[in-house]
Structure 1
Amino acid sequence: MKWTAIPILISFLMPGSIYGQEDIQNPTIFGARSHYGFIIPHSSELKNISQTNPWGFQIEWSKLMVKDKSWNNCNCYAQTGLSFTYFNHANPKQLGNSYNLIYFVEPYLSFNRKLFYSFRAGTGVTFLDKVHDEVSNPDNTFYSSPISFLLLMNFNINYRITNQYTASITAQYNHISNGGMKQPNKGMNFPTFGLGISYSPNPTKLQRKPTLRSKKGTIDGYARLFGTLPNVEATEQLPDKRKLLIGLSGGALWYMTNFNALNLGVELVRDESHREAAARAGKSDDHHLIGITLGHNFVFGKFTFNQQLGYYAYKPFPFTSKDFYQRYELLYLIGKKYQVGTSLKAHGHVAENLDVRFGILF
């Protein structure tokens, strides 16, 4: 899992309601959670450094979006907020600690019983106090930038103790990466399991609302422009250098429900870092790429989380031996048809790059 994330996440839903419920306030929720997990050694050279059990804790603040307008965007209730999470990677000399500020969205998959379920996706900035160094820390090839990104996804089993207090058990998948902006950057993938407690000083009784708008069975077209600045690694003669990558993607979305859609598309990429790498190797391979993508979208209000599997239909420069890649995309809807966001491209467990993208639905 690499799915990405970045300060474009500014709010889950706009305040207010067009359905005459201005007097209803979105309840505030405070929470705390512990974490304990393990690191996935996704390549043989990472096996020795991965034999640890990261642990941590988090504190968070959120709002439960209860107004009609919020419900109608995904036919669900959802929390959205900020969390601060500390992880000790249980290897102080090589992996150190991470300090993470995360924005998250957490739709409730059920809500009208004491036992209920929820799904969370989040992304944010992480500060790492032990990164790769060729001399003092050569074995840590997980990350090399002190300021990187953390992306997470979790599933929660929640139990409502009282109207104000809720306990939870969490299974979470975490990914730390700088998105390929600096090498080495194999990315750290570490699942954690957690126990949590939350408190709401002003709880609201949740009731199912009528569906006011349905997209089930409809088809949307999409187009997106994206770009980033991948790094070309230094050689003995030449320094590292950032070069422009720019791309265009497009395709169609078929909505199975209001918050589930399948997508099929194509993306065209011009990667100047491949041109530079080819020139340094004395080659003249074309630096363009064509990918065919198939994926699934979770649509929660103004946010869309997209997971795609891509196939290289055209890849003349052999920058990877892989024929397939994954793309994890997080988008925010502006108005009714414009989108802004970010995506993480990866080959297996290894992140390649993180980009910024702008899109339109039609």
Structure 2
Amino acid sequence: MSLMLTARPVAAQQADSAAARRSPLVLGAYGQASFIIPHTNAIRHLADSHPTGFELNLQRQTTGAAPWHGWYKYPKAGLALVYYDFHNPTLGSAFAISPYLSKSFWRTTRHDVSFRVGAGLAYLTNPYSQQANHKNTINSSAINATLQMRLEYDYALTPQLGLLVGLALNHYSNGATTRPNFGVNLPTVVLGLNYHQQRPALTINPNAPKPEDVGQNFYSLSTSIGFVQRNESDLNKYLVNSVTAAIGRRVNRKSNLLAGVEGFYDRSLKATLQDTTRAGVKQPDVKKAGVFVGHELLFGRLAFVSHLGFYVYAPYKSNTPYYERLGLKYHFTEQLFGAVDLKIHRGAADVIEFKAGVKL
């Protein structure tokens, strides 16, 4: 009899564990209304419309199958499909696909307040053209990067159906791959419905042990390529390279801290010098070297990267003495990783970097 009594809770725990590992789905459909921030005078003539959009998304509620799920209080991982009509013939429309993570700050049976961050690719239907669309100073290429931040509140109308309201900021930019590229920022109000396959979802492993490498140092080497256009009249795409050597330390379950040195070679600066330097005058070196400190916010193999760097060698003063970097990094193995970064000078995109590296 005692064996039967002890077996039942063990069987129940095994059933809960199996259910938790299924990661229930959440399906969403939202309407969006926004306006364009005139962050520079060059786009003020385009900031008089009120874009509207529609979004479909598919989310999986993490439940503890991986240790980091519990460390972040079981976030959702999703994929969003977004359509925007700018209601301006100069700008046209935008189609975007964006993977994202959504972290809850307050979650009960009926209420869920969360913050969502995503990044992906967008297609803009009516980019700048010197001949056909010279007024579109916001963007000059069809393919763009999209960034999204959103505060969401999901209220349970029924056990499966949720009413969602949110405040968001959507951004589209090509990272200066072509110019003009002032980008567009869209503060947005969101209203829609979520269908929850299971609410609340069963969870396991809330206090997963910390990884073995916490408190350990590591080294990394990486290189990147990118392409930039100088201005609207020069249609050439110039290659930009960088090499980076860094030392890092995993300080806790969620974070790496880094410091390093790197070198840059932007061939568009050489072309600018050739256009502006008088004959016979020695041109300064366009290569640059910098030092940086950085942080990586870890989600399993994925990390959100942020760096602040300072140039220590820059004979040609083409921009600010410091730079920032934001990006996504993914470890394919314990040693090999890839990343997509946006390098920035004082809020203005410099180049999108496609990076490959090794962790030592």
Question: Which TM-score tier does this pair reach, normalised by the shorter chain?
Answer: 0.7 to 0.9
The answer (yes or no) to whether the contact 1:35–1:56 under 8 Å persists in 2 is: yes
> Could you tell me whether the CA contact under 8 Å between 1:107 and 1:300 is conserved in 2?
no
TM-score (norm 2): 0.83
1:60 matched to 2:39: no
Matched, 1:177 2:177: no
Whole-angstrom distance in 2 between the partners of 1:118 and 1:348: 29
Deviation for aligned residue 1:74: 4.2
Contact 1:127 1:148 in 2 (8 A): yes
Equivalent-residue separation in structure 1 for 2:161 and 2:255 (angstroms): 31
Match of 1:281 among 276, 284, 308: 276
Answer 1 or 2: higher relative contact order, Cα 8 Å, separation at least 6.
1
What is the Cα deviation at residue 232 of structure 1? 4.0
Q: Residue 194 and residue 72 in structure 1: after superposition, are their counterparts in 2 closer, same or farther (change >3 A)?
A: closer
For each residue in 1:282-323, what CA deviation from the matched residue of structure 2 results, as whole angstroms up to 9, or x when unmatched? Answer: 362212112232343322222111222332222222333x22
- The percent identity for this pair of structures is 24
Residue 241 (str. 1) matches residue 236 (str. 2): yes
Q: Which residue of 2 aligns with 1:10?
A: none
Cα pair distance change 1:159/1:299, threshold 3 Å: farther
Query: Partner residue of 1:41?
Result: 38
Name the SS for the 1:158 alignment partner.
Answer: strand
1:214 is aligned to: 210
1:163 aligns with 2:163: no
Counterpart-to-counterpart distance in 2, 1:220 and 1:162: 49
Question: In the aligned structure 1, how far is the partner of 2:105 from the partner of 2:348?
Answer: 31
- 1:270 correspondence with 2:269: no
Aligned 1:318-333 pairs, distance under 5 A: 318-320=317-319, 322-333=320-331
For the 8 Å contact 2:327–2:339, the answer to whether it is kept is yes
Contact 2:67 2:208 in 1 (8 A): no
Separation in 1, partners of 2:54, 2:68: 31
| Compared CA separation, residues 234 and 41, structure 1 to 2 (3 A) | closer
The separation in 2 between residues aligned to 1:44 and 1:343, in whole angstroms, is 27
State the Cα deviation string for residues 251-284 of structure 1 (Å, max 9, x = none). 3445554224444333211222222322233362
The alpha carbon displacement at 1:357 in A equals 0.8
> Contact conserved, 2:224 with 2:353, CA < 8 A, in 1?
yes
1:294 corresponds to which residue? 293
Counterpart residue type for residue 53 of structure 2? G
Larger mean CA deviation between 211-220 and 55-64 belongs to 211-220
Equivalents in 1 of 2:146, 2:28: separation in Å? Answer: 20
Q: Is the 8 A contact 1:74 1:301 kept in 2?
A: no
Give the alignment's Cα RMSD to 1 decimal. Answer: 2.7
Q: Distance in 1 between matches of 2:144 and 2:343?
A: 15
Structure 2 unaligned blocks of 5 or more: 1-15
Consecutive unaligned residues of structure 1, counting only runs of 5 or more, are 1-19
Return the letter of the residue paired with 1:300.
F
> Residue type of the partner of 2:336?
Y
Distance 1:87 1:323, change over 3 A: same
Match of 1:96 in 2: 92
- CA distance in structure 1 between the partners assigned to 2:163 and 2:298 by the alignment: 27
Q: Count how many residue pairs are aligned between Structure 1 and Structure 2.
A: 338
C-alpha separation in 1, matches of 2:232 and 2:263: 27
SS in 2 for 1:47: helix
**1:204, 1:329 → 2: CA distance?**
32
Deviation at 1:203, TM superposition (A): 4.5
> Aligned with 2:36: secondary structure?
coil
Greater shift in the superposed pair: 327-336 or 47-56:
47-56
Q: 1:318 to 1:51 in 2, by over 3 A?
A: farther
User: In 2, distance between residues paired with 1:197 and 1:33?
Assistant: 6
Contact map agreement 1:333 1:340 (CA 8 A) in 2:
yes
8 Å Cα contact 1:54-1:88 kept in structure 2: yes
How far off is 1:143 after superposition? 0.4
Partner of 2:7: none
Q: Is the 8 A contact 1:37 1:190 kept in 2?
A: yes
Question: Which residue pairs with 1:83 in the alignment?
Answer: 80
Closer, same or farther in 2 for the Cα pair 1:291/1:167, shift >3 Å? farther
- Which region of structure 1 is more displaced relative to structure 2, 138-147 or 63-72? 63-72
Change (3 A) 1:265 1:34: farther
Verify the 8 A CA contact 1:234 1:241 in the aligned structure 2. no
Closer/same/farther in 2, CA of residues 57 and 227 from structure 1, 3 Å limit:
same
Moved more, 40-49 or 66-75: 66-75
Kept in 2, the 8 Å contact 1:278–1:317? The answer is no
